[in-house]
Amino acid sequence: MFESAYVWSIILLLGLGTWLVRFSFLGLIGDRELPSYVKRMLNYTAVAVLPGISAPMVINSGSGSVEPLRLIAAAAILIIGVWTQSMMKSIGAGLLIYFGINAFI
């Protein structure tokens, strides 16, 4: 479908792009102290990225349908995460609820 050189050039360019983004933080400003407002904003990185990773898993992106079991587990993760303020506890509870309900069905 695509020529091998075309695919490899895209892979190399994307790799160079990700390297430049990482180098801009680690190589250029890695030894300097970041301002306090930047540190505060970086604390919310996981909170911003996690919904983007998990939303396609809850909403089946192939058909756009929502499975009730996944929606229940996602709601449990949200409730337990807000209640305990622990990402690991909320993910563990969501896994237990998802696989526990799935075992009974």
3-state secondary structure of 66: strand
Percentage of the chain lying above the pLDDT 70 cut: 97
High-pLDDT (> 90) share of the chain, %: 30
Question: What mean pLDDT is reported for the chain?
Answer: 86
Q: What pLDDT was estimated at residue 13?
A: 97
What does the pLDDT read at residue 12? 96
Secondary structure (3-state) at 65: coil
What is the spatial distance between Cα 85 and Cα 78, in angstroms, rounded to a whole number?
A: 10
Residue 73 CB contacts under 8 Å (≥ 6 apart), including other chains:
94, 95, 97, 98, 101
Report CA torsion sign: 24, 27, 28, 32.
Answer: positive
| Contacting residues for 88 by C-beta, under 8 A, at least 6 apart | none
Higher pLDDT, 13 or 56: 13
Give the domain ranges of the chain: 1-32, 34-104
Residue where the block lists tokens 């995460």 = 81
pTM: 0.56
32: tokens are 């300097």
pLDDT of 43-94, one tens digit each? 888 778 878 887 888 887 667 777 888 889 889 988 998 899 888 898 899 8
- Amino acid 79: pLDDT: 92
